[in-house]
């Protein structure tokens, strides 16, 4: 998946499932949209569904530094690269 395709899918998930309004790539998910740790767990499950494989515990721990949609995209690209090797 290209970064643009990933962005479209992630933004759609955030709008449809988490009721974000006009999310920007650099918005702070917590401060600007009230995203909490339970939301993060749910989002990781949706990312796993989207990718078609389970994310390892180590990869899930790496998600703790995510703050923006751009961070999510970087994170997914890193996971995709690791799983394609």
Note the CATH architecture for domain 3-84: Orthogonal Bundle (1.10)
| b/e sequence 30-47, b meaning 16+ C-beta within 10 Å | eeebebeeebbeebbeeb
Whole-number percent of the chain with pLDDT over 70: 100
Examine the pLDDT at 80 and tell me if it is beyond 80. Answer: yes
How confident is the model at residue 18, as a pLDDT? 96
pTM for this predicted structure: 0.93
Can you tell me the mean pLDDT for 6-30? Answer: 96
Examine the pLDDT at 67 and tell me if it is beyond 90. Answer: yes
How confident is the model at residue 1, as a pLDDT? 84
Q: What residue ranges do the domains of the chain occupy?
A: 3-84
Can you tell me the mean pLDDT for 22-49? Answer: 96
């Amino acid at each position: 998946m290209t970064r643009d395709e990933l962005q479209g899918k992630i933004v759609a998930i955030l709008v449809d499932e988490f009721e974000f309004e006009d999310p920007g790539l650099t918005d702070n998910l917590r401060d600007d949209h009230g995203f909490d740790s339970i939301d993060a767990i749910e989002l990781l499950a949706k990312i796993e569904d989207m990718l078609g494989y389970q994310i390892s515990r180590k990869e899930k721990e790496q998600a703790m530094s995510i703050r923006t949609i751009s961070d999510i995209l970087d994170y997914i690209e890193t996971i995709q690269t690791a799983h394609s090797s």
